[in-house]
């Protein structure tokens, strides 16, 4: 039997964290043990409330995902999944359940669950799902930080400069922009130069592409 030594050794997932929420202490411990044996960083919780409390004090630094039991006393896994967005928890979810049925899995998938595994699950299924979840979360994190970078750059421009950039990208001549904004053509040229410098861009084509990326988010 082939046993891969770890899920992934690439630097992107080296600090990957998996949260396991299952009320059954023994199932939780076994999943935690399995994931630790492949080199993942694992936190186990008996209730979703404990998990949320942990997130508030110690949000994950690297990519992370959540392995969630559906049937739990108190708040069920499905209910928690629905309230995750409200709580500001954006993690890929892998459901595990002892007694899944089709409507239940459909409901889970509709709310964006990544995988729905029946206990007892094949380890490879769980590890594959976790790998996928970690990758998704990683991509999500990259996207978020990229967006934040673009936005903070954009915020460095003054409102006048932003207006000029919008005009340039819309294909207007300096003269037209000046007329629209009610300023002199020289002012437009100065603002345009400032904006290009702040955004560290060389050509109008670069500027168009840059603004496209910002608007895409």
Footprint of other proteins (CB under 8 A): 1, 3, 5, 24, 26-27, 29-31, 33-34, 36-38, 71, 96, 98-99, 119-121, 123, 126
With respect to other proteins, which residue has the nearer C-beta, 66 or 211?
66
The CB-of-6 to other proteins minimum distance in angstroms stands at: 9
CA distances to 46, 88, 188 from 82, rounded to whole Å, are 19, 11, 50
With respect to other proteins, which residue has the nearer C-beta, 28 or 191?
28
The residue among 67, 84, 173, 73 whose CA lies nearest residue 126 is 67
The CB-of-7 to other proteins minimum distance in angstroms stands at: 11
With respect to other proteins, which residue has the nearer C-beta, 6 or 58?
6
CA distance 63 to 206: 31
The CB-of-24 to other proteins minimum distance in angstroms stands at: 5
CA distance 147 to 132: 23
With respect to other proteins, which residue has the nearer C-beta, 117 or 157?
117
Cis peptide before 120 (omega within 30 of 0): yes
Q: Cα 97 from chain centroid? A: 25
The residues that bridge with 20 in the sheet, in sequence order, are: 44, 67
The CB-of-118 to other proteins minimum distance in angstroms stands at: 9
The CB-of-103 to other proteins minimum distance in angstroms stands at: 15
With respect to other proteins, which residue has the nearer C-beta, 70 or 207?
70
Would you list the DSSP string of 93-144?
A: EEEEESS--HHHHHHHHHTT-SEEEESSPPHHHHHHHHHHHHHHHHHHHHHH
């Amino acid at each position: 039997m082939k046993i891969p030594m770890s899920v992934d050794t690439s630097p992107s997932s080296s600090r990957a964290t998996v949260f396991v929420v299952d009320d059954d202490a023994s199932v939780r411990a076994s999943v935690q043990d399995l994931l630790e044996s492949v080199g993942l960083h694992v936190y186990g919780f008996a209730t979703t409330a404990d998990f949320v409390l942990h997130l508030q004090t110690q949000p994950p630094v690297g990519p992370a995902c959540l392995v969630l039991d559906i049937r739990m006393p108190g708040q069920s896994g499905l209910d928690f999944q629905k309230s995750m967005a409200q709580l500001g928890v954006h993690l890929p979810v892998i459901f595990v359940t002892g007694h899944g049925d089709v409507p239940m899995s459909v409901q889970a998938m509709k709310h964006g669950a990544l995988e729905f595994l029946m206990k007892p699950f094949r380890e490879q299924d769980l590890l594959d799902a976790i790998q996928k979840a970690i990758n998704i979360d990683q991509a999500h994190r990259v996207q978020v930080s990229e967006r934040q970078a673009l936005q903070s750059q954009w915020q460095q421009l003054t409102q006048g400069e932003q207006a000029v950039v919008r005009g340039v990208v819309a294909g207007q001549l300096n003269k037209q922009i000046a007329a629209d904004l009610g300023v002199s053509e020289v002012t437009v040229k100065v603002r345009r130069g400032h904006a290009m410098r702040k955004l560290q861009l060389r050509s109008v084509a670069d500027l168009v592409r840059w603004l496209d990326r910002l608007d895409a988010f």
